[in-house]
Amino acid sequence: MFTLLQTDPQSKARRGRLETRHGVIETPIFMPVGTQGSVKAVSPNELREVGAQIILGNTYHLFVRPGMQVMRHFGGLHRFMAWDGPILTDSGGFQVFSLAKLRKITEEGVHFQNHLDGAPCFLGPREAMEIQATLGSDICMLFDECPPYPCEHASAAESLARTLRWAARCQEVETPGLKFGIVQGSSYSDLRRESAEALVALGFDGYAVGGVSVGEPEPEMMKAVEASEPWLPADKPRYAMGLGTPPQMVEMVARGIDMFDCVLPTRLARNGTAFTARGTISLKNAPFIFDQGPIEEGCTCAACRQFTRGYLRHLVKSEEILGLRLISLHNLHFYLSLMTRIRQAIEAGTFAEFRREFVAGYRHDAPQSVTSL
Amino acid sequence: MFTLLQTDPQSKARRGRLETRHGVIETPIFMPVGTQGSVKAVSPNELREVGAQIILGNTYHLFVRPGMQVMRHFGGLHRFMAWDGPILTDSGGFQVFSLAKLRKITEEGVHFQNHLDGAPCFLGPREAMEIQATLGSDICMLFDECPPYPCEHASAAESLARTLRWAARCQEVETPGLKFGIVQGSSYSDLRRESAEALVALGFDGYAVGGVSVGEPEPEMMKAVEASEPWLPADKPRYAMGLGTPPQMVEMVARGIDMFDCVLPTRLARNGTAFTARGTISLKNAPFIFDQGPIEEGCTCAACRQFTRGYLRHLVKSEEILGLRLISLHNLHFYLSLMTRIRQAIEAGTFAEFRREFVAGYRHDAPQSVTSL
């Protein structure tokens, strides 16, 4: 289902193709995040216009609301949200540990109170996979425990052991879509290797690096990926979960990663921040008041084709929804175009040059860091 | 510039055509409200898709933010917001009296503190017309005083006298667009007549009925229009300001009104309320959880073509922006389609029948009333 088309001679960058039940995905790829069954402020038609090949849905959120009775009634997430392209669903593990309250972890899974009304809920490996089957997910993520950062070696090892036992249980549940294992192990290279090797021994359709973008410094994030990747098979896709900034993604591609997801493009847009090749700009800033140029010169997105920075600044300052809509579109277009350029550079054998120039041109100011959010 | 094409034999309904610098408007027409230079949550392309022929902008809001220096720099409102169709601008009179603080009214105009940062501002007849000229408005409204409801006869008469003196001053200011006078006079038929006759004596391109939809009961609203209309010339367009519900607009058309504007379609959408031929429905309501039908059966809007009530309910309950976007589109489409049907009925000589059936079929529940907002 995954075809490795080309590898970069100067880095671990890969050009690949992943076939799913709802279509083919050209990798490396960025996946817009549609947590609650909607990529925030963006319609399915607009997702197609900005070139989204696959989007994310979230098991935890959809399980809590609208609930599985509704999802079953509507025949799954694709029909519910009117998106007929591929969908990857998070397993809910990360959210149970970051959003829910009063957790109690057992060998069977996690008892918790949901973040909406505090109702008692339970999610375990079996439940998470069954939910993803009900959602009709094209790529189901295994139910894992995501330890916080920092984490002692002993706790990380204990957590990893449980995650691996859960992985075996997840494997037993039949799902219509592909199944991706999630490498954990916190900041510890020995645990990352152990995790990767154990998952590969079980055998999944793809492998994710989890427990990154959870508050650790960027070098730690890179290290976690570098410690996991060598133990993953070349003929399966690799997915770095929940990141990142544009240069982080370029660097991750150079380290052998094929897939990304991140809320940054839409979340920063709602705060008036737009991505450009030279870094982020805050359209709230006074210098844009009289600016008649687009967000980024040469950009072909719907926002840049029609609207000026001056107008967008006015919309953001006036808290008009159209402002965050247009910046969301631009930011998603930026992320997806970056992936297109990465794929073209790998194909043309110019990825090393592209990587050097892109990363050097991108200003690293505070708002560009995932971890500062 | 206004051509009266046809009149209904059984009512005062009129089919007309108004030429402006940015295009022709077929009347009766509804004008979506873009107070701050954006019809809330809707893009200019979407406005064209739902069939908007003309939109509103607001002098007071745009004067306060982004301010006239910005509007001049961008060459007016059309270019600023990327809308190349006709724009009608309110004069700011209504907002000065409803939004601003610490007003002091003089013969020259109104000193006030704006609602954003309390900065001292001044708007008078000359300033209001000059601002509308800067905005490049296709239809400029005269600067008037809008008395509250209820209002004593003596106060209403005094206010009206000033509004008429201001009308003469407004007339002196050259504007690129058409100029519409505003009939005031509160609930008093004698004042309404006096106002209409005085404005017609001055001679404007069209006439509005103001001081309606300001909290008065619906019969009072109808009475105010009925008391104004007979004194207005047949060969000029008539505009009832700030209303209304769908049946109110049908009834107003029957009373000789050609143009409407109202925030209801977009404001109610942001609360999850959608318009249908049988009245409004709140998509928050539980019965819609499993509903696989569109908002309204047979509706051709972008929301109804693609999305179910069940999904829209989920979006509204989850406070997803896509929900209010889609309902805003549906509601604007509903208002604009209603006007299309009214125009067709007048042309076909079936307006009386259409009026009877539409008004009878529309449920008058609480949330449908403008005044209950």
Query: A194-242, pLDDT tens digit by residue?
Result: 999 999 999 999 999 999 999 999 999 999 999 999 999 999 999 999 9
Residue range B60-87, pLDDT digits in tens: 999 999 999 999 999 999 999 999 999 9
Q: Which of B5, B1, B38, B242 is nearest to B141 (CA)?
A: B242
Instruction: Tell me which residues of chain A, numbers 51 to 110, contact chain B at a CB-CB cutoff of 8 Å.
Output: 65-66, 70, 73-74, 80-82
Q: If you average pLDDT over every residue of chain B, what do you get?
A: 95
Question: So what's the pLDDT on residue A363?
Answer: 87
Phi-psi region of B198 (alpha: psi -120 to 50; beta: other; left: phi over 0): alpha
Q: Which of A242, A219, A91 is nearest to A166 (CA)?
A: A91
Cβ of B337 under 8 Å from any chain A Cβ? no
Sort strands B23-27 and B101-106 into parallel, antiparallel or unpaired. unpaired
**Comparison of pLDDT for A97 and B355, the residue scoring more:** B355
Q: Which residue of A has its CA nearest to B36?
A: A318
Determine the residue among A64, A71, A267, A311 to mutate to test chain B binding: the one whose Cβ has the most chain B Cβ atoms within 10 Å: A311
d(CA B134, CA B143): 15
Cβ contact (<8 Å) for A73 and B310?
yes
d(CA B47, CA A306): 14
Predicted TM-score (pTM) of this structure: 0.96
Cβ of B340 under 8 Å from any chain A Cβ? no
Cβ of A326 under 8 Å from any chain B Cβ? yes
Q: Under 8 Å CB-to-CB from B107, ≥6 apart: which residues?
A: B162, B165
Question: So what's the pLDDT on residue A129?
Answer: 98
Indicate whether B373 pLDDT > 80. Answer: no
Is A351 in a helix, a strand, or coil? helix
Q: Could you identify the residue written with the tokens 């509308």? A: B132
Segment B140-160 mean pLDDT: 96
Closest CB to A66 among B36, B289, B306: B289
CB A342 within 8 Å of CB A13: yes
Segment B164-190 mean pLDDT: 97
Question: So what's the pLDDT on residue B365?
Answer: 62
Is B133 in a helix, a strand, or coil? helix
Q: Which of A81, A93, A74, A76 is nearest to A52 (CA)?
A: A81
**Comparison of pLDDT for B171 and A370, the residue scoring more:** B171
Cβ contact (<8 Å) for B322 and A42?
yes
CA distance A238 to chain B (A): 30
Indicate whether B320 pLDDT > 70. Answer: yes
Q: Which of B8, B138, B258, B261 is catalytic?
A: B261
CB A362 within 8 Å of CB A280: no
d(CA B187, CA B178): 28
Segment B287-303 mean pLDDT: 97
Closest CB to A38 among B41, B73, B320: B320
d(CA B124, CA A4): 71
Cβ contact (<8 Å) for B81 and A43?
no
Closest CB to B70 among A41, A290, A306: A290
**Comparison of pLDDT for B189 and A97, the residue scoring more:** B189
Q: If you average pLDDT over every residue of chain A, what do you get?
A: 95
What is the complex's ipTM, to 2 decimals?
0.96
Question: So what's the pLDDT on residue B369?
Answer: 32
Closest CB to B290 among A73, A308, A325: A73
Is B90 a residue of the active site? yes
Instruction: Tell me which residues of chain A, numbers 261 to 300, contact chain B at a CB-CB cutoff of 8 Å.
Output: 289-290, 292
Q: Which of the residues of A are catalytic?
A: 90, 261
CB A202 within 8 Å of CB A232: no
Indicate whether B228 pLDDT > 60. Answer: yes
Consecutive sets of 10 residues in chain A, 373 residues long: mean pLDDT of each? 97 98 98 98 98 97 97 98 98 88 90 93 97 98 94 97 98 97 98 98 98 94 98 98 96 98 98 97 96 97 98 98 98 98 98 98 59 32
Residue A60's alpha-carbon distances to A67, A90, A93, A131, in angstroms, are 9, 8, 8, 9
Segment B268-285 mean pLDDT: 97
Instruction: Tell me which residues of chain A, numbers 229 to 258, contact chain B at a CB-CB cutoff of 8 Å.
Output: none
